[in-house]
Structure 1
Amino acid sequence: MLQGYVTVLTILERKGTEMKVNLLTFLAMLLAMPSGLSAYEAIQEDEDIFARRPCPAFLMFDNAAYVSDMTIELPCHCKPEVVPSVVWYYQKQLGVKDTRVLTDFNGTKVVDSAQVGRGLDIRSRFSIRLFSLLIFQSQAADSGHYICGTSTGEFFYGYDVDIQEVGEVSFSLEPQSLGPPGDAGRMPHYRVFTSFWPWSVCDRCGIRGEQTRVGLCYLESPYLYSRYRLQPPGVASCGSASVPQRFKKHLREKRAELAVRSCITNCPPEPTLPPEEKSFLDFLGSRSDAPKLVVQYYSHPEGRPLVLACSGAQANKAVAWDKDQLRLYRAQYMEGVNKTARMYIDASQHLVFRDVQMNDGGTYYCWLQGKLAVEIRLSITRRFARKRKLSDPESVYAMKAILLSYTVFTVIFVLFLIVRLLWQYFIGREML
Structure 2
Amino acid sequence: MLTTLWLLLCFALPVQESPFSISCPNHKHCQLALLSNNDIILHCNAPGAQWQFFRSLKSTWGSSSTTNLNMETMLNGSLLIKNPLPYHTGIYNCNDKDGKKVMRYEIDFQDVLTLRITHKDLDQKTLQNESLSLSSKELVFTHWEPWQDCNRCGVPGERKRLGYCYIQKSLENPIPCWLYLGDKKLWSSRLRPEMQVETCHIPCTLTDVEYVIFDNFQLRNKAGSARLTCPLGSIYRPVFWEANDLSLTWKDQLSGKSISTIMDTSNGGSWLQVFQPAIYRCFVHQELMAQFNSKATRKEKANSVLEGLNMMILVGMVLAVLGCLLKQFRFSQSRRINKMLLVK
TM more than 0.5: yes
1:236 aligns with 2:199: no
Q: Once superposed, what is the RMSD of the aligned Cα atoms? A: 4.3
Q: How many residues align?
A: 266
Q: Residue 268 and residue 145 in structure 1: after superposition, are their counterparts in 2 closer, same or farther (change >3 A)?
A: closer
Asked whether the equivalents of residues 241 and 280 of structure 2 are also in contact (C-alpha less than 8 Å), the reply is: yes
Q: Residue 382 and residue 330 in structure 1: after superposition, are their counterparts in 2 closer, same or farther (change >3 A)?
A: farther
What residue in structure 1 maps to residue 214 of structure 2? Answer: 296
What residue in structure 1 maps to residue 138 of structure 2? Answer: 190
What residue in structure 2 maps to residue 92 of structure 1? Answer: 55
- After superposition, residues 217-236 of structure 1 pair within 5 angstroms as 217-221=165-169, 234-236=173-175
Any idea what SS the aligned residue of 1:190 has?
strand
Query: Tell me, which stretches of 5 or more residues in structure 2 are unaligned?
Result: 1-25, 301-344
Normalising by structure 1, report the TM-score: 0.50
Q: Residue 97 and residue 142 in structure 1: after superposition, are their counterparts in 2 closer, same or farther (change >3 A)?
A: closer
Asked whether the equivalents of residues 48 and 75 of structure 2 are also in contact (C-alpha less than 8 Å), the reply is: no
Displacement of 1:202 after TM fit? Answer: 1.7
Distance 1:365 1:342 in 2: 13
Asked whether the equivalents of residues 130 and 190 of structure 2 are also in contact (C-alpha less than 8 Å), the reply is: no
What residue in structure 2 maps to residue 208 of structure 1? Answer: 156
What residue in structure 1 maps to residue 20 of structure 2? Answer: none
Give the aligned residue type for 2:283.
W
Given candidates 66, 76, 79, the residue that maps to 1:133 is 79
Given candidates 203, 206, 214, the residue that maps to 1:266 is 203
Displacement of 1:237 after TM fit? Answer: 0.4
Distance 2:158 2:178 in 1: 29
Q: Residue 333 and residue 139 in structure 1: after superposition, are their counterparts in 2 closer, same or farther (change >3 A)?
A: farther
Any idea what SS the aligned residue of 1:249 has?
coil
Distance 2:263 2:233 in 1: 17
Q: Which has the higher contact order (CA 8 A, sep 6+)?
A: 2
CA deviations 1:368-412 (Å, max 9, x no partner) are 22344432223253479xxxxxxxxxxxxxxxxxxxxxxxxxxxx
Q: Residue 301 and residue 86 in structure 1: after superposition, are their counterparts in 2 closer, same or farther (change >3 A)?
A: same
Any idea what SS the aligned residue of 1:361 has?
coil
Distance 2:144 2:137 in 1: 23
Distance 2:54 2:145 in 1: 28
Given candidates 276, 286, 295, the residue that maps to 1:379 is 295
Distance 1:67 1:146 in 2: 16
Distance 1:147 1:326 in 2: 46
Distance 2:69 2:197 in 1: 33
Any idea what SS the aligned residue of 2:69 has?
helix
Normalising by structure 2, report the TM-score: 0.61
User: Kindly, what percent of the aligned residue pairs are identical?
Assistant: 20
Give the aligned residue type for 2:139.
R
CA deviations 1:194-216 (Å, max 9, x no partner) are 11111122212233211111111
Give the aligned residue type for 2:48.
S
What residue in structure 1 maps to residue 227 of structure 2? Answer: 307
1:324 aligns with 2:241: no
Displacement of 1:218 after TM fit? Answer: 0.9
Q: Residue 141 and residue 331 in structure 1: after superposition, are their counterparts in 2 closer, same or farther (change >3 A)?
A: farther
Query: Tell me, which stretches of 5 or more residues in structure 1 are unaligned?
Result: 1-51, 56-60, 104-121, 224-232, 271-289, 385-432
Give the aligned residue type for 2:197.
V
Distance 2:189 2:52 in 1: 26
Distance 1:97 1:263 in 2: 44
CA deviations 1:265-291 (Å, max 9, x no partner) are 233375xxxxxxxxxxxxxxxxxxx74
Displacement of 1:158 after TM fit? Answer: 4.0
Given candidates 140, 159, 167, the residue that maps to 2:115 is 167
Asked whether the equivalents of residues 205 and 371 of structure 1 are also in contact (C-alpha less than 8 Å), the reply is: no
Given candidates 257, 266, 273, the residue that maps to 1:347 is 266
CA deviations 1:109-158 (Å, max 9, x no partner) are xxxxxxxxxxxxx6135453411212133332322333335899x57354
Distance 2:61 2:167 in 1: 29
Give the aligned residue type for 1:249.
L
Give the aligned residue type for 2:168.
E
Asked whether the equivalents of residues 150 and 159 of structure 2 are also in contact (C-alpha less than 8 Å), the reply is: yes
